[in-house]
Amino acid sequence: MKRLGLNMATFAFGSIPVLIVCIVALANLRRLSTLGEGMKGHCKTYLNSRLYVEVEILASIAGIVILSAMIIDPIINTVVDHKLMKMVRYGANQVSQSIRSWHGRLSRRSVALGKENNEENNSTTVNNENDEHVKNSDEESKPNEPSTVTIKDVENESEDSGNASDSAKSDSKSSNSFEMATASGRSSIGSLYRELQVWSRRAFIVNIIGFVVSIYGLYVEIRHEADPKYQASCDISSYISCTRALSHDIGRGFGIVKHILGPDSILNQRNPLFGVFGYSTLAALQLSNSPLLIRLCVIVAITLNAVSAYLTYNLIQMQVICLVCYAIHICNMLFFYFADKRRTIINQIEYENSKKKAL
């Protein structure tokens, strides 16, 4: 699951920019076909040339992202694959052994240069050993004292043997209780992990739905910008209209970025574009059981619901019902519920692991 999640993350990282370029190009296909028309001066300006430059910039960024993803993907596969890592470790060990052999040759040369000092030290150690040998022979020549064994010593030995048998019985009982506790702990942890996988799959499906809805919203917004007469399938009436909500000022940068960074900022993008990147990344994160990533998903879910509440308030002020927007808000609420369930389960798993370590 970990390797699958990393591969999906790199795939999303590399393929989503290409998908965005395709959506922009298809939505503006009519305007892109008129690039050669219009007045052409000394600077060779064409009709709709700004759109052409934007598409070219997006395509170049997509190419850079694809190349970086192609570089990152084999590195991730090498790190995750145990066989490849064994081969890498084997090569590293061979290199370290060659370095050690080279270092041993240098040490042998230094030993050869210091032979004379070693011979002098050896002569002094031989004299010291002779003196110790003489002392040991003198001590062995002394008579040994007879050893006496009393009744108290026998009684003490019998008591020690009884205590040892009692301690062995208590150790066996404690080991049996420890084995039973560890077995129950393993079964409970296994059931918790299975429950965690269920909620992870549900959160993954919700994020995939949010990803698809965001792509559709991005297509509708780009198509309506290229052709103001375009009516999407979610435009039922003047009151229930997706294009009316998405083409509003809050449809770019949530209506906040332009007031902070200006309308020409690179972060002042269409709201569905943030959803495409965000939901694809969150879907990949649901395949990991890391406690840090699970808690990070909870924080992101709280932020998404806060943004949904802000956008819902603006839609009420506009007196517009946007089906795409409300579908995204429902996905955000469901994702918060699933993320909180995953957080409670991972907390229980950590508690069970701490109890097992304490035993």
CA 266 vs CA 257, 258, 262: distances in Å = 10, 10, 9
Q: What are the beta bridge partners of residue 219? A: none
With a cut of 90, say whether residue 334 has pLDDT above it: yes
Q: Which residue has the higher pLDDT, 50 or 137?
A: 50
With a cut of 90, say whether residue 184 has pLDDT above it: no
Q: What is the spatial distance between Cα 87 and Cα 308, in angstroms, rounded to a whole number? A: 50
Query: Residue 287 burial by CB count (10 A; 0-12/13-18/19+): exposed, middle or buried?
Result: buried
Q: What percent of the chain has pLDDT over 70?
A: 58
Identity at 69, one-letter amino acid code: A
User: CB of 257 within 8 A of CB of 268?
Assistant: yes
Predicted local confidence at residue 191, as pLDDT: 86
Q: Helix, strand, or coil here: 269?
A: coil
Mean pLDDT estimate for the chain: 75
Predicted local confidence at residue 146, as pLDDT: 45
Q: What is the spatial distance between Cα 67 and Cα 10, in angstroms, rounded to a whole number? A: 11
Q: What is the spatial distance between Cα 183 and Cα 178, in angstroms, rounded to a whole number? A: 9
With a cut of 50, say whether residue 73 has pLDDT above it: yes
| First CA to last CA distance, the chain | 30
With a cut of 60, say whether residue 154 has pLDDT above it: no
Structure tokens at 248: 């509003």
Read off the pLDDT band of 343 (50, 70, 90): very high
Read off the pLDDT band of 354 (50, 70, 90): confident
Predicted local confidence at residue 171, as pLDDT: 56
CATH architecture of 188-359: Up-down Bundle (1.20)
For residue 297, give the nearest of 352, 346, 330 by alpha carbon: 346
Phi, psi of 190, rounded to the nearest 5 degrees: -65, -40
Pinpoint the alpha helices (H) of the chain.
Answer: 2-27, 29-32, 49-80, 82-113, 115-140, 151-226, 242-246, 257-260, 271-285, 291-318, 323-358
Provide CB contacts within 8 A for 255, sequence distance 6+.
248, 249, 314
The model's pLDDT over 265-305, given as tens digits with 9 standing for 90+, comes to 888 888 888 998 899 889 988 888 888 999 999 999 999 99
Q: At what angle do helices 2-27 and 271-285 cross, to 10 degrees?
A: 160
Mean pLDDT for the stretch of residues 303-330 = 90
